[in-house]
Structure 1
Amino acid sequence: MNSQIKQILLSNDDGVDSPGLWAAARALSELGYVTVSAPRDHMSATGRGYQKNSDGRITAKKLNVKDQDWDIYAVGGSPSQSVTHGVMELAPRKPDLVVTGINYGENFGTDVTYSGTVGAALEAAAMGIPALAVSQRLTSEEWDGFPDNVDFSISAYFTKFFAEILLKNSLPEDVDVLNVVVPEGATKDTPWKVTKLARKRYYKPYVIREGKLDEEAKIHSHALELDEIPPDSDMYTVRVERMVAVVPLSLDLTSRVAPDSLEKMLRK
């Protein structure tokens, strides 16, 4: 294979059958050779976890991109495992970029730590590969069934836009992943903005339990209302300003507190 061709590994957490994944594949194919390695099953909200009971089986499937049939790979494992298998077994060489998405639903605030889409991007970053995670805001909170009325074309446009930048430029120090969230109803002219994660969870959980504690229950969630969204944050950028949010993420989870002041407090 021509070593000059950029190598892009594409994954997600919605699973290999997600139309968001297909839209990203079509857009990224204009930038280089795309290897698709995504979970065989729907794996939303799995973070960066590895599943001990995953079978690791990899099955080739066909995806039609630009009137050509591509081999894509369905992995029996989590999004992070799909990235690992993709880098170590499936890509022709170490990818120049890993892209995850396009995710059904927005990945905001502290929720990014349980997003499988973001988790897969962090997995790539931990392997020394720059990564881009892309999600699209949906008004409906029910997207497990891949509703066919979701148009990913604009999110695909921004996926290609930022991927092209990352293929041409190195990320600054302490930036390992770009988390991009596209507002619903965006156009190619929608402005984008570098912002920060809200220090707040976006999906507020609640428990539905009809019986005793030892009987089955479900944790559900609903998104914050507009008046609950903190300003100067990724949520505010997308929900209020109606702009594309671009959030730099770091693998370094160390608090930015002054170590001396923390140690002084702990030693009192």
Structure 2
Amino acid sequence: MATTDKKQILLTNDDGIDSPGLWAAAEALSELGYVWVAAPRDQSTGTGRSSPVTSDGRITTKTLVVHGQEWTIYSVGGTPAQVVDHCVLEILPRHPDLIVSGINYGLNIGTSIGMSGTLGAAMEGASFGIPALAASLELEDPSLVYSHSKEVDFSAAAVFVARFARQLLEKQMPFDVDVINLNIPSNATPDTPWRVTRISRHPGYDTFIERNGSLEDAARIGGNPVPVTPRDVEPDSEMYTVLFDRMVAVTPISLDCTSRVGFDDLDHLLRG
């Protein structure tokens, strides 16, 4: 059971409860405090911060032994954001000191991050006033994005998760930093340098629709990483940092989505 003298960390993801990325993070975070592991029962990539009324909200618990350590885990019938809601409002004895979401299969960068269940969980946690960290690892093989492939090495990414989780547990972030979005290149080592970045205005993924037959037949919407060159993206963005400088990108995100336009200028424009 959790003890009151330990920091309480809620760990979730959008790839589902069986994801190796989740367990790589769990092991790394266990050095920092008591880790509550709760994740969607099903693959929930691309669900953003959604809270659909169709989710059943059923919670099942089971005990797993991972690398000799025993974990009680919570499998939730809902999106990543709903997992956070269930944990904060009815599972955990008190609000956690930190929420970590990941480690995700694939990057969460550019204007596509609004679709990310990884970011959705972190932002839902931040809405409760809880520091939040989202972590994603670049895939050398993008086809593994919906998998639980053990070919992906999360060890270096887990080091960075623990490193920045420690900072969020020990320090008060500046006002308006509600979520830290961490993106790690596939070839990262624990010694790879990192940089504070902004979100690129370039889309991270190119949306496509697969449909066999007429509009009345079933279809699937998916996304492939968008091919870019250094000239396509901003040098101070997380996209440039990861894809071209091969550094870890650390992006501060605010829950305040208000445009940075001058209000007087916009008011004048709208009034004509």
User: What is the TM-score normalised by the length of structure 2?
Assistant: 0.95
Taking the aligned partners of 2:208 and 2:151, their CA distance within structure 1 comes to 28
SS in 2 for 1:215: coil
8 Å contact kept, 1:226–1:240? no
How many residues are paired up?
A: 268
Shift of 1:2: 4.0
Which residue number in structure 2 is paired with residue 264 of structure 1?
A: 268
Shift of 1:66: 5.1
Cα 1:198–1:3, aligned 2, differ >3 Å: closer, same or farther? Answer: same
SS in 1 for 2:266: helix
Taking the aligned partners of 1:114 and 1:151, their CA distance within structure 2 comes to 24
Which residue number in structure 1 is paired with residue 183 of structure 2?
A: 181
8 Å contact kept, 2:3–2:34? no
Q: Tell me which moved more, 72-81 or 214-223.
A: 214-223
Taking the aligned partners of 1:7 and 1:220, their CA distance within structure 2 comes to 35
Which residue number in structure 1 is paired with residue 251 of structure 2?
A: 247
Which residue number in structure 1 is paired with residue 215 of structure 2?
A: 213
Q: Tell me which moved more, 100-109 or 52-61.
A: 52-61
Cα 1:22–1:265, aligned 2, differ >3 Å: closer, same or farther? Answer: same
Aligned AA for 1:267?
R
The within-5 A match list for 1:43-62 is 43-62=44-63
Shift of 1:92: 3.0
Which residue number in structure 2 is paired with residue 96 of structure 1?
A: 97
User: What is the TM-score normalised by the length of structure 1?
Assistant: 0.96
Aligned AA for 1:175?
V
The within-5 A match list for 1:105-254 is 105-143=106-144, 144-227=146-229, 228-254=232-258
Aligned AA for 1:244?
V
Shift of 1:217: 3.1
Taking the aligned partners of 2:10 and 2:211, their CA distance within structure 1 comes to 41
8 Å contact kept, 2:28–2:158? yes
Taking the aligned partners of 2:140 and 2:112, their CA distance within structure 1 comes to 17
Name structure 1 gaps, 5 residues minimum. none
Taking the aligned partners of 1:26 and 1:18, their CA distance within structure 2 comes to 13
Shift of 1:226: 3.4
Taking the aligned partners of 1:88 and 1:25, their CA distance within structure 2 comes to 21
8 Å contact kept, 1:37–1:85? no
SS in 2 for 1:222: strand
Taking the aligned partners of 1:94 and 1:220, their CA distance within structure 2 comes to 35
Shift of 1:214: 2.8
SS in 1 for 2:6: coil
SS in 1 for 2:188: coil
8 Å contact kept, 1:7–1:34? yes
Taking the aligned partners of 2:58 and 2:179, their CA distance within structure 1 comes to 27
